[in-house]
Amino acid sequence: MSALQTTGLVKRYGGILVTDNVSLDIRPGELHAIIGPNGAGKSTLINQLSGELVSNSGGVAFHGEDITSLRIDQRARRGLLRSYQITSIFEQFTVRENVTLAALGAREHGFRFWQPLLGRADLAHQADEALTACGLADHAQAPAGDLAYGQRRQLELAMALAAQPKFLLLDEPMAGMSVQESQAVVAMLAGLKGKYAILLIEHDMDAVFALADRISVLVYGKVIFTGTPDEIRAHPEVKTVYLGEEGIEA
Amino acid sequence: MTMSLLFTQLLNGLQLGVLLFLLAAGLTLVFGIMSFVNLAHGSLYMLGAYFAASAYAYTESFGLALLAGVGGCVVLGFLLERLAISRLYRRDHLDHVLTTFGMVLFFNELVRIVWGPQPYFLPVPAFLENTVDLLGISYPSYRFAIIVVGLLVAFGAHLLMHKTRLGMLIRAGAVNPAMVGALGVDIKLLNALLFALGAALAGLAGVMAAPILSIQSGMGEPVLITTLVVIVIGGIGSISGAFYAALIVGVADTLGRAFLPTLLREVASREVANAAGPALASMLVYVLMALVLAVRPQGLFPAGRS
Amino acid sequence: MSHTVFKPATLVTLLVLAVLACVPLAAHLADQPFYLAFFARIMIYAIAASALNLALGYGGLVSLGHALFLGIGAYSVAIPAFHGIDNGWLHLLCCVVVCGVVGLVTGAVSLRTTGIGFIMITLAFAQMGYFVFVSLKQYGGDDGTTIAATSKFFGADLGQAGTVYWVALVLLVLVLWWMARLRVAPFGMVLRGARQNPRRINAIGLRSVRYQLAAYVLSAVLCGVAGMLLANLTGFASPSTMTWMISGDLIVMIVLGGIGTVFGPLLGALAFLGLEEVLKMVTEYWMAVFGLAIVLIGVLGKAGIAGLLDGLASRRPASAPAKRAAPAAVTISKPVGEQA
């Protein structure tokens, strides 16, 4: 059974076809990358997978369950978590509060009115693990708004991890990061491989080829090819459309 | 319920509608483009009436009173925008609410200080004191004049919005304010002009309404709230939406107040009808607003479509 | 929570509460019953402002119609009393149920919009309520009605100034305590998160609208209870309690005191009503000065009294927010660039 399966996803804005009959099949534990030129419709695709955009037609199934009509919060509670390309955190909360909230959201509701959130040992444990995995353990008390850009991206990831995901939708996690920061994230994601299924949208080709089990190439909203990194490197159409502009190291 | 009564009330509804449109047009632009919550719009309406009343007291000329009312509001609107309101655009809606709330309190008290607590009156201009014959009924000329002026202004607004460059900038600004600034337009001047224009319309409404109502402190707020309902129903930022919604609200409110108590008496006892009738009539437009919100939260004619 | 005890805003508030506890005795000794009623009124408004703070300060819901619930609370005493019912528990039940239902319905409809739309709709609903009560001629209509029989609980009569004073004080303390705990409890955290970033709250699995609606209803009920106390204190209920002027007053109190802080509503109510009294003594046209003062507060956008106090203690530059300082005005949910 696939972890996440889409069948014929279509999204139109007026006359413009942004997502053109996308069918993906991501296996449990797989790290599946989506690459493609700018404007290929990657963010639109992820928004349909996370539930923030309603597709015009087509379906999404999560571990066999049809989730096409579910909202984002419902999908999150089933273990389908996402991170955002443009950092979306709680600026006025501390790092720890951010991550603990994320841990709460995935498991239960927030209709508790008396005991402090941070006092919950189980959530704190969850949060600590996520913070350590993302290298933010030392900054737990800092207000999120005070973090440097790279750290904010890491917090973005930590929040997704804290929610005990079964599947991670990562929208350009390394956007705007320095080389060292990117390498740290790559190392972290490599450590996560196998634990969760991951759909990774990225422009950083080094990262993509280092991490991905399989890669899908999205051009003008259409998946033109899906294959292993080696197959992608060898595929002539892919080379011309996308990789032709950038050299990649083997 | 005779046809002539119905027709008269329809005209009254139309008259209320155009007054509401004058107020709503300025307000919805400011909401839509500067994203500014201006609760002091009712104060401009009130001050327009007061300026006109004073001018009339000195000159006995309705024309000069009209000029004083509208002109005074343009100046006041411009000053308010430059001195206080422009500082708040980047701020939160709460700050807008707070500041304009303070202005309302200030202006309501100011008119009491300057003009005294007694209500003022502006008489109907002599040449409009008679009635016109419309389709078999006699309708007060003055009210008819209000309708005509209002429709002319609406037509003028349509021309401005759709046939001039300024109008294009305004429409663009309603959909994407940041972009207009980025295109090199002097956004500060545009904002000030817009605000002053809205103030002028509010002042005009105030002057025209003055002979029908009495001019007193606090007269702006009930009208403001109805105007807000109009904007919600029409769609924030949309002038055409404001127009249609104003007419709908004006007619619904007037017909509701005129006929709902009578209708109720048909189906319920006299006491219930007498008690519930006026209440339901007052509530009608709010129920309408709630319905629109429930079904189509962006309003019936949202900006970006006109 | 213990580390908050030594913050200036907390200390000042505790001092204020201690003074409030001494007022009945002092007023009695000095034979000045006016002060008893005056401070009772301050406390009642502080409770109402705290209620609004839950929706507005924590939740970012700018409601211009909360005075409606204050009025409903007042009438849940007036109307049963008119029919001879003086049982305080029945008054309370009526208050909680009606405020809860009205809050649920108006909140659910209002939350279909955000930003400017939300503000206007809450205002319009309050106006609607105003008209309803104005049209209730047998209960005084426009003029309002005196309370025929004040609320009685276990033989104690809330109509007595002394009784309603102590009830208000106890309720105020409980409310402040609860608001302090709620702020860092899961509900408060989700709510405050939804104010900062509703999209993210949804993305982590929590439906933000649900929490906002719950906060709105809770704040409506609490505001109603304050209205009940107000009716008992003044012996009067009228539609003028639910005008948007009163809603605006509540908002000013919250901002003055420090929006989103625990003690802001009390400090703000004290400052607001105190300033009003002082100005009334100075000039007949105090409302004009008051209005200008509010305009200044709005334009200058300070962090409120609580924020100011906490800022003094932390000795950090104003731009670095201490964890409990009142957030600057930018935090209330604001439409990002698109038409509201």
Cβ–Cβ under 8 Å, residues B154 and B21:
yes
Q: Which residue of C has its CA nearest to A97?
A: C189
Cβ–Cβ under 8 Å, residues C233 and C164:
yes
3-state secondary structure chain C: CHHHCCCHHHHHHHHHHHHHHHHHHHHHHCCCHHHHHHHHHHHHHHHHHHHHHHHHHHCCCCCCCCHHHHHHHHHHHHHHHHCCCCEHHHHHHHHHHHHHHHHHHHHHHHCCCCHHHHHHHHHHHHHHHHHHHHHCHHHCHHHCEECCCCCEECCEECCCHHHHHHHHHHHHHHHHHHHHHHHHCHHHHHHHHHHHCHHHHHHCCCCHHHHHHHHHHHHHHHHHHHHHHHHHHHCEECHHHHCHHHHHHHHHHHHHHCCCCCCHHHHHHHHHHHHHHHHHHHCCCHHHHHHHHHHHHHHHCCCHHHHHHHHHHHCCCCCCCCCCCCCCHHHCCCCCCCCC
Phi, psi at residue A116, to the nearest 5°?
-65, 145
Report which residue type is found at B159: L
To test the contact with chain C by mutation, choose from A92, A95, A112 the residue with the greatest count of C C-beta atoms within 10 A, namely A92
Residues on chain A touching C202 (C-beta within 8 angstroms): 71-73, 76
pLDDT of B305 higher than 90: no
State whether residue C178 sits within 8 Å of chain A by CB.
yes
Could you tell me which residues come within 8 angstroms of residue C25 by beta carbon, excluding any fewer than 6 positions away? Answer: none
Report which residue type is found at C93: L
A and B touch with 3+ CB pairs <8 Å, answer: no
Greater confidence (B260 vs C58) lies with: C58
Cα R_g (chain B), whole angstroms: 20
Rounded distance between C-alpha atoms, residue B40 and residue B31, angstroms: 13
CB–CB contact C202 A71 (8 Å)? yes
Residue C228: the pLDDT is: 94
State whether residue C1 sits within 8 Å of chain A by CB.
yes
Rounded distance between C-alpha atoms, residue C270 and residue C309, angstroms: 15
CB–CB contact B101 C294 (8 Å)? yes
Rounded distance between C-alpha atoms, residue C168 and residue C283, angstroms: 31
Report which residue type is found at B155: F
CB–CB contact A114 C200 (8 Å)? no
The CB density around residue B58, as the number of other CB atoms within 10 Å, is 10
Rounded distance between C-alpha atoms, residue C53 and residue C326, angstroms: 12
What one-character DSSP code corresponds to residue A151? H
Ordered domains of chain A (ranges, CATH): 1-79+166-250 (3.40.50.300), 89-164 (no CATH)
> What is the CATH architecture assignment of C2-327?
Orthogonal Bundle (1.10)
To test the contact with chain C by mutation, choose from B23, B80, B82, B94 the residue with the greatest count of C C-beta atoms within 10 A, namely B94
**Burial category of C212 from C-beta neighbours within 10 Å (exposed 0-12, middle 13-18, buried 19 and up):** buried
pLDDT of B306 higher than 80: no
Residue A238: the pLDDT is: 76
Tokens of C36: 């008893």
Count of B-C CB contacts under 8 Å: 170
Q: Which residue of C has its CA nearest to B39?
A: C120
Phi, psi at residue C179, to the nearest 5°?
-65, -35
Rounded distance between C-alpha atoms, residue A185 and residue A192, angstroms: 10
Cβ–Cβ under 8 Å, residues B156 and B46:
no
Give which of C240, A92, C65, C221 is closest to B97, Cα–Cα.
C65
Residue C42: the pLDDT is: 95
CB–CB contact B304 C339 (8 Å)? yes
Cβ–Cβ under 8 Å, residues A67 and A51:
yes
Residue C221 Cα distances to C48, C138, C226, C227, angstroms = 10, 25, 9, 10
In terms of DSSP H, where are the helices of B127-269? 141-163, 165-175, 177-182, 187-209, 220-234, 239-267
Which B positions 28-67 lie with beta carbon below 8 A of chain C? 31-32, 35, 37
Nearest beta carbon to residue C332 from set B93, B109, B221: B93
CB–CB contact B97 C119 (8 Å)? yes
Greater confidence (B55 vs A1) lies with: B55
Nearest beta carbon to residue B303 from set C125, C290, C339: C339
CB–CB contact C117 B101 (8 Å)? no
Nearest beta carbon to residue C205 from set A93, A114, A163: A163
Residue C231: the pLDDT is: 93
The CB density around residue B184, as the number of other CB atoms within 10 Å, is 7
Give which of B39, B31, B35 is closest to B97, Cα–Cα.
B39
Nearest beta carbon to residue C193 from set A90, A115, A143: A90
State whether residue C49 sits within 8 Å of chain B by CB.
no
Q: Write the pLDDT tens digit of every residue in B146-177.
A: 999 999 998 988 888 888 888 887 777 766 76
Residue B279: the pLDDT is: 76
For residues B73-82, average pLDDT: 94
For residues A168-190, average pLDDT: 88
- β partners of residue A82: A169
Using pLDDT thresholds of 50, 70 and 90, give the confidence band for residue A197.
very high
Phi, psi at residue B25, to the nearest 5°?
-60, -50
Residue C339: the pLDDT is: 32
B and C touch with 3+ CB pairs <8 Å, answer: yes
The three-state secondary structure class of B172 is helix
Rounded distance between C-alpha atoms, residue C112 and residue C118, angstroms: 8
Could you tell me which residues come within 8 angstroms of residue C105 by beta carbon, excluding any fewer than 6 positions away? Answer: none
Residues A135-149: b if buried by 16+ CB within 10 A, e if exposed: bbbebbeebbeebee
Residues on chain B touching C125 (C-beta within 8 angstroms): 286, 290
Question: How close is the nearest chain C Cα to the Cα of A232, in Å?
Answer: 32
Q: Write the pLDDT tens digit of every residue in B200-235.
A: 999 999 999 999 888 989 899 889 989 999 998 998
pLDDT of A90 higher than 90: yes
State whether residue A97 sits within 8 Å of chain C by CB.
yes
Residue A233: the pLDDT is: 83
State whether residue A113 sits within 8 Å of chain C by CB.
yes
The three-state secondary structure class of B120 is strand
State whether residue B291 sits within 8 Å of chain C by CB.
no
Greater confidence (B24 vs B3) lies with: B24
Nearest beta carbon to residue C340 from set B35, B108, B279: B35
Rounded distance between C-alpha atoms, residue A241 and residue A235, angstroms: 10
Q: Which residue of A has its CA nearest to C180?
A: A114
State whether residue C192 sits within 8 Å of chain A by CB.
yes
Q: Does domain B3-123+145-295 have CATH number 1.10.3470?
A: yes
Of B49-53, B268-272, C219-223, the range with the lowest mean pLDDT is B268-272
Q: Please, how many CA atoms are within 13 Å of residue B167, restricted to the half-sphere of its CB?
A: 14
Count of A-C CB contacts under 8 Å: 107
Give which of C190, C293, A92, A54 is closest to B101, Cα–Cα.
C293
CB–CB contact B283 C56 (8 Å)? no
- β partners of residue B134: B137
CB–CB contact A93 C189 (8 Å)? yes
Cβ–Cβ under 8 Å, residues C71 and C227:
yes
Could you tell me which residues come within 8 angstroms of residue B83 by beta carbon, excluding any fewer than 6 positions away? Answer: none
**Burial category of B89 from C-beta neighbours within 10 Å (exposed 0-12, middle 13-18, buried 19 and up):** middle
Characterize the bridge pairing of strands C145-146 and B137-140. unpaired
Which of A224-228, B271-275, C73-77 reaches the highest mean pLDDT? C73-77
Place of tokens 């501390």: A94
Greater confidence (B78 vs B303) lies with: B78
pLDDT of A125 higher than 80: yes
What one-character DSSP code corresponds to residue A86? S
pLDDT of B34 higher than 90: no
State whether residue A159 sits within 8 Å of chain C by CB.
yes
Give which of C303, A94, C300 is closest to C311, Cα–Cα.
C303
- β partners of residue B137: B134
In order along chain C (340 residues), what is the average pLDDT of each group of 10 residues? 64 87 83 87 96 95 94 93 86 95 94 86 89 84 81 79 90 95 95 94 93 97 96 92 92 91 93 92 90 88 71 54 32 34
Residue B170: the pLDDT is: 75
